[in-house]
Amino acid sequence: MTAPKAADVSRVQTAGRAAAGGATEVEFSVEPGETLLAVQRQQGLQVRRIAGSGVELESVLLEPDRERLQRQQRLDAILAGTAFAQPGTADAHPVMQQVRKP
């Protein structure tokens, strides 16, 4: 097996949100043998670049998009209490309770 060339370096882009509210982009250059690890935490998405030896090379915490969370909460509130697309038995449906006598 031959050693990797500089051109073999992988480019990885991770989208996130900055604390000030603007979109940010974090770019990691990942060498062969390294690992890019993303873990969801309460504060946001923690992205770490780890060398093949296990040493952490880079770490960044991407905060949640506040606008997107607020929009999702509004949509969830609209659908709260609905029974759309819930599984059930056919016999329990009102139309199945109607009895037809020939």
The residue type of 32 is: P
What's the predicted TM-score (pTM) here?
0.49
Does residue 62 surpass a pLDDT of 50?
yes
Both tokens of 44, joined, read 């946001």
Q: Distance from CA of residue 58 to its chain's centroid?
A: 20
pLDDT at 38: 92
Give residues with Cβ within 8 angstroms of 33, minimum separation 6: 51, 52
Pairing type for strands 23-30 and 10-17 reads: antiparallel
Quick: pLDDT tens for 73-90: 999 999 888 877 777 787
Quick: pLDDT tens for 4-42: 333 333 444 444 444 344 555 777 788 999 999 999 988
In the sheet that holds 35-41, the strands lie side by side as 35-41, 44-50, 56-62
Q: Closest Cα to residue 29, out of 12, 5, 54? A: 12
